[in-house]
Structure 1
C-alpha cells in the first residue's frame, strides 16, 4: 500500500520545522514541502531545506498567489498541514480556495497551535486581529466543507518556558523574574518536538476529523509561580519576584508609542497570564492529544527545566573557563 502524501506549508518557520521533522520521521508519509523562489531574504533557509531533502522530503515550488499551479500541485496530495506565520494567516484563504476546487484532500490542518481563537472573541487589540483572522480561516474551511482538524498546543517552551515567561527573555533570568499578577493562573507549557509529533498523529486519525484537538497533558499544566518555584528548586537560587499588576500591563498594550508588534505580544500575554484563558474551559478526554496517543512520550515541565538548568550550568562553566584562560594569557603576555 502506498504511503500518503503530505504537503507542509511553512516548513522553515518556527513550529513548522518541528512538524516537518515529525512528518519525515514517520514511515507512513511522503513529505512534500511548499517552497517559493529563492530570494536574498530567503536564502538563509536553503541549508534547512536541503537538510529536509536529504532526509527524504520533496521540495515543490509554487506560490499561494498562483491559483492554477496550486490546484495542480494539490491534485496529487492527500493531506495539507499549514504552519504559516502569524503575519500571513489570511494567506491561507488562497489555500482554502484551491483545496475546495481540488476536492480530494482528505484533511487540512490550518496554522493554529497557540490559543484557541474560538474562545477569544473577547480579546483586546491589537492581539485580537490574529484571533479574528484565524476564525475567518476556520469559517472558510467549514463553509467549504473541507475535512479538517484544528490543533491547539498553547505555550511553546522555547518562547515561554525558556525565560520562565519573563517577557522578552529566552533564557532563565539570573536574579529577577517578572510575575504577572499573582502568577497563579494555570498554563499549558509544551515542548515543540512534542507538538510536531501530535500534529502528525492527528492528521489522519479518524477520531480527530472535523474536531479541535488540545495538547494538554496533565504533567504540563502549571502556573507561572509553580514553574518559577520548580526552577528555584532545581537551580538552588531564589529569584527576586517583580509582580506586575494588570493595570500596568494594560498600559503597555495601550501605549501607542510602542511598536505594534510589541503591543500585539503584550496583549497575547495578557490573556494567557492575567486572564488565564488557556484553562478557562473544560475539554473532553477524547479531545486531548496525550489521551488519544498515550504511546507518545511527553517532555514534562520538570524534565525540560532540568535540561535547561544543565545547559545553563554548562554555559556558565564555559564562560568561566574562557574568562580565566583569557586572564591567564594576558598575565603571561
Structure 2
C-alpha cells in the first residue's frame, strides 16, 4: 500500500538542496514519501561539507543528479526525470548571478515540457506586494518578480511560497538585525515594537512547501505561511523570551528616521537587509493585508501540520 502511495506522488527535483532551506526541503520531501532527486552541481568543487551532505541525502533515499548551470542540456535532462522542480538557490549569491541561475532553470523547464509544478526560490516576503519597497532593499523583490514574469510568460505551472520571517534569524535575534542569539540583558526595538510580524520555523516552511506540490488548490497561487500563534509583535516576542528566562530585559527603541539614517556608511548587503527589517518591523508589511483571491493560507489548507510556536522555538536558546 505504501509503495502504491509513493507511486502516486510526484517525483521531485530540489535545486539548491545543500542550502539553509534546501536541506530541509530534501528531508520533508523524503518524509512525505516522494521520490526525491537532488541536483549535484560539479561547480561546487572541493566543498567537502556540501559533498558529505549530498551523500547523507543519498543514504536517506534521495537520488543525486549531476547537472551544471553551464550546461543547458544537462539541466533539461535532470528536469525530465521528475514532475516537480523546487528551487532553493541561496539568496546570498551576487544579485545578477542568482537571477541568471533561476532564469536558466526556467528555460530548462520550459524546454523539457513535462513539469506539472515549479516552485522558484522565494520563501520570504511576497515580492508582488513590495513594489513600494525602499532602495536598495527592493532589489530582492524586483529580482523575484523578474523570475515570476519569466515563469508566467513560459506558461509553467507554479506555486509561490511566502514564508515571511525565518525563525532562526528573527527570533534568535529578538527581531534585531545582525544578532542570532537572544540577549538576556537588553533589546532595541525598531519603531515602537508593537507592529505585528510573522515568524515560521524553517522545518515547518519545508513541510508546508512539500504539501503544496500535489495540491490543486495551490496551483498558480501564492501560498502564505501564517501560523496564527506566530503573528506577534517584537514586543510580544521579547515578552515570550522574558517569561522563559524569568528576567525582564532593558528595552530601548529607535525611530524610523533614526533607523533609516543609520544605513549611511553601511555596505550594500547591510543596507538591503536593513530595508527589509524596516518594512517588517516598522511598516508591518507581513500582516497588514488580506490574502485575497490570488493566494491561499498554508495553515488553513493543512491543519494536520503541527507547526512550531514562537514559545516552543525559543526554548532551544535556554
Check the 8 A contact 1:149/1:212 in 2, yes or no.
yes
Deviation (angstroms), 1:242 = 2.0
Q: What residue number does 2:289 align with?
A: 281
Q: What residue number does 2:177 align with?
A: 167
User: Can you give the 5+ residue segments of structure 1 that lack an aligned partner in the other structure?
Assistant: 313-333
Does residue 200 (structure 1) correspond to residue 210 (structure 2)? The answer is: yes
Does residue 290 (structure 1) correspond to residue 296 (structure 2)? The answer is: no
Deviation (angstroms), 1:112 = 0.9
Check the 8 A contact 2:186/2:251 in 1, yes or no.
yes
User: Can you give the 5+ residue segments of structure 2 that lack an aligned partner in the other structure?
Assistant: none
User: In structure 2, which of residues 38, 41, 45 is the aligned counterpart of residue 36 of structure 1?
Assistant: 41
Q: What residue number does 1:79 align with?
A: 84
Q: What residue number does 1:320 align with?
A: none
Rounded to whole Å, the distance in 1 between the matches of 2:23 and 2:255 is 36
Rounded to whole Å, the distance in 2 between the matches of 1:179 and 1:284 is 31
Q: What is the DSSP-based 3-state SS (H/G/I as helix, E as strand, rest coil) of the residue aligned with 1:112?
A: coil
Provide Cα deviations, 1:269-298, integer angstroms capped at 9, x if missing partner.
Answer: 111111111112112597110100011101
Q: What residue number does 2:17 align with?
A: 11
Does residue 113 (structure 1) correspond to residue 127 (structure 2)? The answer is: no
Q: What residue number does 1:242 align with?
A: 252
Check the 8 A contact 1:252/1:263 in 2, yes or no.
no
- CA root-mean-square deviation: 1.5
Rounded to whole Å, the distance in 2 between the matches of 1:65 and 1:89 is 14
Provide Cα deviations, 1:148-179, integer angstroms capped at 9, x if missing partner.
Answer: 00011100110111121122111111211111
Rounded to whole Å, the distance in 1 between the matches of 2:237 and 2:254 is 17
User: In structure 2, which of residues 151, 154, 170 is the aligned counterpart of residue 141 of structure 1?
Assistant: 151
Higher mean C-alpha displacement, 36-45 vs 128-137: 36-45
Which has more helix, going by share of residues? 1
Alignment of 1:1-333 (within 5 A): 1=4, 2=7, 3-27=9-33, 29-37=34-42, 39=44, 42-86=47-91, 87=93, 88-90=97-99, 91-253=101-263, 255=264, 257-284=265-292, 287-305=296-314, 307-308=315-316, 311-312=317-318
- Structure 1 stretches (4+) deviating beyond 4 angstroms? 38-41
Rounded to whole Å, the distance in 1 between the matches of 2:63 and 2:203 is 21
Provide Cα deviations, 1:85-119, integer angstroms capped at 9, x if missing partner.
Answer: 11353121111111111111010000111000001
Deviation (angstroms), 1:40 = 5.1
User: Of the two, which has the highest radius of gyration?
Assistant: 1
Q: What is the DSSP-based 3-state SS (H/G/I as helix, E as strand, rest coil) of the residue aligned with 2:68?
A: coil
Rounded to whole Å, the distance in 2 between the matches of 1:219 and 1:284 is 21
Rounded to whole Å, the distance in 2 between the matches of 1:233 and 1:71 is 53
Q: So what's the TM-score if we normalise by structure 2?
A: 0.92
Rounded to whole Å, the distance in 1 between the matches of 2:13 and 2:247 is 46
Rounded to whole Å, the distance in 2 between the matches of 1:194 and 1:284 is 23
Check the 8 A contact 2:163/2:200 in 1, yes or no.
yes
Q: So what's the TM-score if we normalise by structure 1?
A: 0.88
Provide Cα deviations, 1:23-61, integer angstroms capped at 9, x if missing partner.
Answer: 11111x111001111655622212211111100011111
Q: What residue number does 1:318 align with?
A: none
Rounded to whole Å, the distance in 1 between the matches of 2:46 and 2:266 is 26
Rounded to whole Å, the distance in 1 between the matches of 2:89 and 2:25 is 12
